[in-house]
Structure 1
Amino acid sequence: MEAATLEKYQCELIDLFLSNGNESNRKPMEDYMRNHFSFLGIKSPERKELIKRFFVEYGKPKREWMKPLVTYLYEQPERELHYAALAMIDVHIKNLDSEWLSFLEEIITTNSWWDTVDHIAPHHVGAILLREKKSIIDYPDRWIQSDNFWLQRSAILFQLKYKEKTDAQKLFSYIEATKGSKEFFIRKAIGWALREYSKTAPNEVLTFIESTDLAPLSRREGLKHMARRGMEV
C-alpha cells in the first residue's frame, strides 16, 4: 500500500510539473545552465508555487519515502524535478541525522552543477553537521581531499550559514588545501565562503586573506563585503 501511495505521489508531482512547462522559457533556461540539463521552462517563483499547491493537495512527503522519492526525481531528465527533489528534503531537514550524509553525497555527485550543490551543501549538509559535528571528519574532511571538485566545493560551503558558529580554523584549513586549484568553481567558492564569514568576523577574514596566497578571483570575492563597508582592504 505504501509503495503504491508513493508511486502515485511521484506521478502526480511529475504530471503537475509537465503540465506547467513553458516552452518560451525553456531554451533561455537551458542556455543559462550551459545546456547541461533539459528544462521544462518553469521559473523559480512559479516552481515554488507549484510545490506549495502540491503540498496542499497531496500533503508533504512521508519521511520513509524520502530517499526513493528523491532518487526517482533525480533520475528524471528535467532540471526542475531535481529542484523539486531538494524541496522534498527541505521539508524534513530539521529531523534528518548523519545517516543521511552518505545519501547527500550521492546527490551532490549526481547531475552535479552549482545550482543544486549550492543548495545541498549549506542547507542540507550544513544543517545536519551543525547538530552532529562528529561527522565532519567522515564527510567534509574527506571531501576536501577528493578529486571531485563538487565535493570539495561542498566542504568549503557547508558552513556558509553558520555565522558566529563557524569553525574558522576548519574553514581556513579547507581553503589552504584548495587555494591552488585551477577550477573556477573552487576559486569562486573560496571567495564566497570568505565573503559570507566576513559579515561575522571581518578582521579575522581580512587577516587570513592578507596572509594567504589566494587566486585573484578568491581574493576579490572574499573582500567584497568589507570593501562595501569601507574597510581598508
Structure 2
Amino acid sequence: MISITALESNLTDCNSRPIKLAQATSNFKEGEKLGEGGFGGVYIGFIPDLQSYVAVKKILRSSKQRSKEYALEVKIISQLRHRNLVQLIGWCYERKFLLVYVFMPNGSLDSHLFKEQSLLTWETRYKIAQGLASGLLYLHKEGEQCVLHRDIKSSNVMSDSNFNPKLGDFGLARLVDHGKQSQTTILAGTMGCMAPDYVNTGKASKVYSFGVVALEIACGREPIDPKYGSS
C-alpha cells in the first residue's frame, strides 16, 4: 500500500522515493479531471517512479460526517482484494481527503452504454455483467462481514484495458453482519437504481441495483430517461 501524506507533502512508494500528488495531477488541473460526483472530483495522474497512471479522488471536506464517511470508505476498501473491484493503492487524510486508485483506461460503463464512447459487443457485455456479479458475490459472502455497496450503477463500474469490470466508489458502503440487513433513516444511493421498497423499509437491497445495471447492459437505456416519457 502506498503511503500518502498531505497534498503539500509527499507520496512515497516502497523505496521511500518522494513524489508529490499535486505534481502528478498537474495541481488538480481541470483538464486532468476524469469525472465528478457528489463527493468530489477524480483526476488522472502519472507517477514516474511507478511508471504508471493513477486515478486520484479528491473528496470535498465539508463536515464531520464527511470525515466519518471518508474514514469508513478507506477502512472498507483497504481490506478488499478481488479482481472485479477497483484497487485502492493509497490515501491521504491530512488537510485534504484523497484516495488513489489504479487507473482504469476504459473508463466507466455508462460512457460506453450511453455516451457512445465505443460500441460494446455482446461478448464484452456478458463479461462485464458476469464480472460485476462475481465482485458482488465476494462483497456479500466471502468476507468476515457483508459489504453493502449501496450505490451500484453503471458510472461506478470501471473497465481496464481489456474491459474487465471493476466496481468502485465505496463512499456509501456499509459493513453488515452476515444474515442481517442494513437499516437506515437516511436514503443512500441513486434514483432509478434503488429498490422501490427502500423508501418505506429503510433496508438496502443487495441485488436490485445489479439487476438495473444488467438491464442497462442488455438494452442500452438508462433507468430514468426523460426523453422516453413515463409508462
Q: Greater relative contact order (Cα 8 A, min sep 6): structure 1 or 2?
A: 2
Bigger share in helix: 1
Provide the TM-score with structure 2 as the length reference: 0.32
Structure exhibiting the larger radius of gyration computed from Cα positions: 1
Provide the TM-score with structure 1 as the length reference: 0.31
